[in-house]
Structure 1
Amino acid sequence: MDRDNCDFSPMKQSLKKNINQVIMALQSSLETMDDENNCLLGNFERIKNQFIQVEMNAATFYLNCYLSPFTEKYPEISICLQNMSARKHGGLIVVKREDSLEPFMHPGIPIAAELSHSLLESIFFPGNPLHDGAVLVHQNHIVSAANVLPLSHRDVGDKKLGTRHRAALGLSEKCDALVLVVSEETGKISFAFNGGLHPITTGEII
């Protein structure tokens, strides 16, 4: 697989369009600042929401860039995330990249199966004995489930993080693994990479 290939042209074009919309909104606000009858607070609220959408679209784009060189099964992962998000089934998926994970993970139950979205979803189905831990993915296979990750001791912004998100951040602070999280409370999808936690848009992962 070509590790320098990060095209995803339709997604990239959409991101450029979103950024241009924010720039135009800021420019419009700048041009109307001298109008005393025009309150910009409403404009700022809309622009803030546009910024949030741009951040999520950018995270979605880069998630694909980070995933595609290390697994050809990233569309299967995407389908799994979408389905789990819709059902609010919590999940934690570690995608191994270059670094060894052995020093940082407490090993779980070996699976050693070809990756598919249905298998991933079944592992995280509520009540499954393996659903609370992290699934380890290497290349196109599910290596193991119920792995225990190190927990981060920091919060992100003003938000207190749940255990899955702290585990995702904790591992990403120690190695180059990419860790995907689905919140069972909100169904929202995030990924942790290089010590950062990024929300992504549902419906645009592939």
Structure 2
Amino acid sequence: MTRQADCDSSTIRQRLKEDLHRVADRMNRTLTRFDNDSVCLLAQFAEIRTEIKQIEVLASSFYLDCYLSPFTEKFAELTASVQHLSDRRYGALIVIEREIPLEPILHSGVAVDARVTHALLESLFIPGAPLHDGAVLVRGNQIVSAGNVLPLSQAAAGERKMGTRHRAALGLSELTDAVVLVVSEETGQASFAVDGDLHPINVVETIH
């Protein structure tokens, strides 16, 4: 359902390639030591896992830009708002519409009809604000509405550690080509959902 990400950032691509080669080399070195019974490899496994996680975060941030750039010019504003919300541990859901119209699928909230700015986005998710529990709908460079209710993922219904915001992000991404930014109120972790998958992001690492 997702249109193929089209990115031409050779710098990020090169960094990802170098990181992957480094992990592959570490795995090969670990493999050569595997038959040595006197060597405990648990520390090496932990280091490999950490490196792979760092690569995943960088790649997710890179592809987030790829997915959004054809549909909005406000990538910097969106990621700035996610960074600030994450820092404050304010829960948030921001839906970016792409090719599939979303209003027939959402339980509509309150019309906003304003240009995307990080200040406005952040104000909508301040705890106690009237619309902070719902999702913001972004179309192009405009905030269309706030306080929207998204369909919950049925596939993630049994995930006890997954909160309602993450299930909602996954649910909409399972039904449409939307990209959904989500910030955890408990941990501050920022993620995005696309095509029914959830990916961690580190907005500091984005290329803008």
TM-score under structure 2 length normalisation: 0.92
Which structure 2 residue ranges, 5 or more long, are not aligned? none
Give unmatched runs, 5+ long, in structure 1: none
User: Take 1:202 and 1:139, find their aligned partners in 2: how far apart are those partners?
Assistant: 20
Aligned to 1:58: 59
**Partner residue of 2:190?**
189
Name the residue aligned to 1:137: 138
Q: What is the aligned partner in structure 1 of residue 27 from structure 2?
A: 26
Q: Kindly tell me: are residues 21 and 50 of structure 1, through their superposed partners in 2, closer, same or farther at Cα, counting changes over 3 Å? A: same
Count residues in correspondence.
204
CA displacement 1:102-154 (0-9 Å, x = unmatched): 33101111111111101101111111101110000011110110011001123
Cα RMSD (Å) of the superposition?
A: 1.8
Task: Please report how far the alpha carbon of residue 57 of structure 1 lies from its aligned counterpart in structure 2 after TM superposition.
Answer: 1.6
Percentage of identical aligned residues: 52
Specify whether residues 76 and 59 from structure 1 end up closer, same or farther in structure 2 by C-alpha distance, changes over 3 A only. Answer: same
> 5 Å matches for 1:33-182?
33-155=34-156, 160-182=161-183
Aligned mates of 2:5, 2:196 — CA distance in 1 = 22
The Cα of 1:40 is off from its aligned counterpart by 1.6
1:83 is paired with a residue whose SS is helix
Q: TM-score, normalised by structure 1?
A: 0.92
Deviates more, 1:46-55 or 1:117-126: 46-55
2:170–2:194 contact (8 Å) kept in structure 1: yes
Cα contact 2:5–2:63 (8 A) shared by 1? no
Query: AA paired with 2:151?
Result: P
Alpha-carbon separation, structure 2, partners of 1:146 and 1:158: 24
Distance across 2 between alignment mates of 1:106 and 1:157 = 23
Q: Distance in 2 between matches of 1:72 and 1:5?
A: 15
Please identify runs of 4+ aligned residues in structure 1 that moved more than 3 A.
156-159
Q: By how many angstroms is 1:63 displaced?
A: 0.6
What is the one-letter code of the residue matched to 1:92? L
